[in-house]
Structure 1
Amino acid sequence: MPADPILPDALSRAVVSPKTYANQATMDETFARIRADYPLAKTQLPDFEPFWFVSKHADILEISRQNDVFLSGEMPTTLTTKSVDQKVRQQTGGSPHLIRTLVQMDAPDHPKFRHMTQAWFMPQNLRKLEDQIRKIARVYVDKMVCMGGQCDFLNDIALFFPLRVIMEILGVPEVDEPRMLKLTQELFGAQDPEMNRSGGELEDEQKALADIQAVLMDFFMYFNQITEARRANPTEDVATVIANATMDGQPIGAFEAVSYYTIIATAGHDTTSSSTAAGLYGLIQNPDQLAAVQNDLDRISGLVDESIRWATPVRHFMRSATKDYDLRGQTIQKGDWLMLSYPSGNRDEDVFEDPYAFRIDRTPNRHLAFGYGAHLCLGQHLAKLEMRKFWEELLPRLKSVEFAGEPKLSEANFVGGFKNLPIRYVMD
Structure 2
Amino acid sequence: MSTPTMDDAAKVLADPQAYADEPKLHAALTHLRANAPVSRVEVPNYRPFWAITKHADVMDIERNNALFTNWPRPVLTTTEGDEMSAAAGVRTLIHLDDPQHRAMRAIGADWFRPKAMRALKVRVDELATTYVDKMLADGPECDFVQEIAVNYPLFVIMSLLGIPESDFSRMLKLTQELFGSDDSEFKLGSSNEDQLPALLDMFGYFNGVTAARREHPTEDLASAIANARIDGEPLSDIETVSYYLIVATAGHDTTSATISGGLHGLIDNPDQLDRLRGNLDLMPLATEEMIRWATPVKEFMRTAAEDTEVRGVPIEAGESVLLSYVSANRDEDAFTDPFHFDVGREPNKHVAFGYGVHFCLGAALARMEVNSFFTELVPRLKSIELNGDPEHVATTFVGGLKHLPVRYSLR
TM-score scaled to structure 1, two decimals? Answer: 0.94
Query: Following TM superposition, by how much is the alpha carbon of 1:226 offset from its aligned partner in structure 2, in angstroms?
Result: 0.6
Q: Distance in 1 between matches of 2:142 and 2:187?
A: 23
1:379 is matched by which residue type in structure 2?
Answer: G
Q: Distance in 2 between matches of 1:380 and 1:84?
A: 27
CA deviation digits over 1:264-310, x for unaligned, max 9?
Answer: 11111110010001111011111110011111111111111111101
**Which residue is 2:79 aligned to?**
82
**Which residue is 1:347 aligned to?**
330
Q: Stretches of 4+ moved more than 6 A in 1?
A: none
Kept in 2: contact 1:284–1:402 (CA 8 A):
yes
Taking structure 1 as reference, are residues 397 and 84 closer, same or farther at Cα in structure 2, changes over 3 Å only?
A: closer
Matched, 1:122 2:113: yes
Q: Distance in 2 between matches of 1:278 and 1:82?
A: 31
Matched, 1:7 2:9: no
Kept in 2: contact 1:70–1:319 (CA 8 A):
yes
Which residues of structure 2 form unaligned runs of 5+?
none
**Which residue is 1:364 aligned to?**
347
**Which residue is 1:286 aligned to?**
269
Q: Which residue, 37, 40, 55 being the options, matches 2:38?
A: 40
Query: Following TM superposition, by how much is the alpha carbon of 1:87 offset from its aligned partner in structure 2, in angstroms?
Result: 5.2
Matched, 1:403 2:386: yes
Matched, 1:275 2:258: yes
CA deviation digits over 1:71-97, x for unaligned, max 9?
Answer: 111x221113334434554x35xxxxx
Which residues of structure 1 form unaligned runs of 5+?
93-97, 203-207
Matched, 1:51 2:49: yes
1:78 is matched by which residue type in structure 2?
Answer: V
Kept in 2: contact 1:282–1:307 (CA 8 A):
yes
Residue 359 of structure 1 aligns to a residue in which SS?
coil
Kept in 2: contact 1:5–1:38 (CA 8 A):
no
Kept in 2: contact 1:6–1:43 (CA 8 A):
no
**Which residue is 1:194 aligned to?**
185
Taking structure 1 as reference, are residues 108 and 20 closer, same or farther at Cα in structure 2, changes over 3 Å only?
A: same
Query: Following TM superposition, by how much is the alpha carbon of 1:391 offset from its aligned partner in structure 2, in angstroms?
Result: 1.1
Q: Distance in 1 between matches of 2:360 and 2:410?
A: 34
CA deviation digits over 1:394-414, x for unaligned, max 9?
Answer: 111110000001000111011
**Which residue is 1:205 aligned to?**
none
Q: Distance in 2 between matches of 1:143 and 1:254?
A: 39
2:6 is matched by which residue type in structure 1?
Answer: L
2:4 is matched by which residue type in structure 1?
Answer: P
Matched, 1:210 2:209: no
**Which residue is 1:70 aligned to?**
68
Q: Distance in 1 between matches of 2:94 and 2:386?
A: 36
Q: Distance in 1 between matches of 2:377 and 2:287?
A: 13
2:43 is matched by which residue type in structure 1?
Answer: L
CA deviation digits over 1:28-78, x for unaligned, max 9?
Answer: 1010001111011212335332211100000000000111111111x2211
CA deviation digits over 1:149-176, x for unaligned, max 9?
Answer: 1111111111111110110000100110
Q: Distance in 1 between matches of 2:83 and 2:34?
A: 35
Q: Which residue, 351, 360, 380 being the options, matches 1:377?
A: 360
TM-score scaled to structure 2, two decimals? Answer: 0.97
1:391 is matched by which residue type in structure 2?
Answer: F
CA deviation digits over 1:232-254, x for unaligned, max 9?
Answer: 11111000000000010010111
1:392 is matched by which residue type in structure 2?
Answer: T
Query: Following TM superposition, by how much is the alpha carbon of 1:5 offset from its aligned partner in structure 2, in angstroms?
Result: 2.2
Taking structure 1 as reference, are residues 84 and 233 closer, same or farther at Cα in structure 2, changes over 3 Å only?
A: closer
**Which residue is 2:149 aligned to?**
158
Query: Following TM superposition, by how much is the alpha carbon of 1:258 offset from its aligned partner in structure 2, in angstroms?
Result: 0.6
Query: Following TM superposition, by how much is the alpha carbon of 1:123 offset from its aligned partner in structure 2, in angstroms?
Result: 1.6
* 1:112-151 pair list within 5 angstroms: 112-151=103-142
Taking structure 1 as reference, are residues 130 and 327 closer, same or farther at Cα in structure 2, changes over 3 Å only?
A: same
Kept in 2: contact 1:78–1:316 (CA 8 A):
yes
Q: Distance in 2 between matches of 1:86 and 1:244?
A: 30
Count of matched residue pairs: 411
Kept in 2: contact 1:12–1:45 (CA 8 A):
no
Cα root mean square deviation, aligned: 1.4
Q: Distance in 2 between matches of 1:381 and 1:294?
A: 23
Q: Distance in 1 between matches of 2:84 and 2:363?
A: 34
Query: Following TM superposition, by how much is the alpha carbon of 1:216 offset from its aligned partner in structure 2, in angstroms?
Result: 1.1
